[in-house]
Amino acid sequence: MTARPGLVVSLSGRSECERLGSDVSPHVSSSRIAADAGKASRLLSSDAGSAVPAANLQDMSYPDRRTSLLIHAALTRSGCDAATIGRVHQYLADAGAVPMLTRLRRHCGYIFAHSLKTTKLVVHVARDMSVDGSEHAVLFVGALLHDIGKLAVPTSLLNATRRLRKTEIDAIRSHSEIGYDSLSDTRIIGWNAVLDVIRHHHERLDGSGYPFGLTAPDISWRTRCVTVCDVFSALIESRPYRPAMNRDEASAMLSQMVAAGKIDGDIVNALRRWRPE
């Protein structure tokens, strides 16, 4: 993986939160995560539980097993079918991505929770827009992993409440390339679609995004979908540096971005038909 200047947390290393034994960020409800894990455990005894490869769970450490159960709960509660859930779990297992998601959960809990929320929204959009089922697994895995590069961003920046300097903003923005680099050696059929989402989810249709300033013809539908859901999810979530927007405020912000030619209007319209659980 290419080294990035100014980043002090290694993807393979332990963050300060891990050393302190913290499981989630103080900005995420630990009771909600525990409830989700409990629900996921119950799901494993149901028909949907057959979607989780039992051998994979048995071979996992407790933290990784818990991460898998949280992912399982998020997908199941979103109405994702068992076959697709099974493919998602298999992709994550084959790519060795579950331990990375566990480290993300410990490194910055609200980013992990955001990844789950973004994935739930992507599931809704895919269903609403009648996306072919064969596309679902790679799309959902891309959503789950889109912010994995933030493992390499210090929590002092992710949790900052002050105005960030340009070098600090650049450090945060590097997460898309770092996430891509960390998983680019994976050799699985369909994985390039996942990497495309991870690398380009901050691109904008008008060329104003990063890291490459791509324009509409070069941005895939999968990436456009995760981008819209990522933005909306972030807006309706409370962050250390700002309170959550309500749904109407967030929707208005998306409308402004559509009008400015930055994001896909059809996907935004599909997302507006989403209703919280």
Query: Contact 245/258 with Cβ under 8 angstroms?
Result: no
CB contact set of 187 (below 8 Å; sequence gap of 6+): none
**C-alpha closest to that of 107 among 76, 139, 147, 56:** 147
3-state SS, residue 202: coil
CA–CA dist 275, 164 (Å, integer): 34
Provide the pLDDT for residue 4.
33
Q: What is the pLDDT along the chain (277 residues), one digit of tens a residue?
A: 333 333 333 333 333 233 323 344 434 455 555 555 555 555 555 544 455 555 467 778 889 999 999 999 999 999 999 999 999 999 999 999 999 999 999 999 999 999 999 999 999 999 999 999 999 999 999 999 999 999 999 999 999 999 999 999 999 999 999 999 999 999 999 999 999 999 999 999 999 999 999 999 999 999 999 999 999 999 999 999 899 999 999 999 999 999 999 999 999 999 999 987 6
Domain 21-272: which CATH class? mainly alpha
Provide the pLDDT for residue 58.
72
Tell how far CA 157 is from the center of its chain. Answer: 18
**C-alpha closest to that of 51 among 98, 91, 83:** 83
Provide the pLDDT for residue 20.
25
Provide the pLDDT for residue 157.
96
Query: Contact 79/127 with Cβ under 8 angstroms?
Result: yes
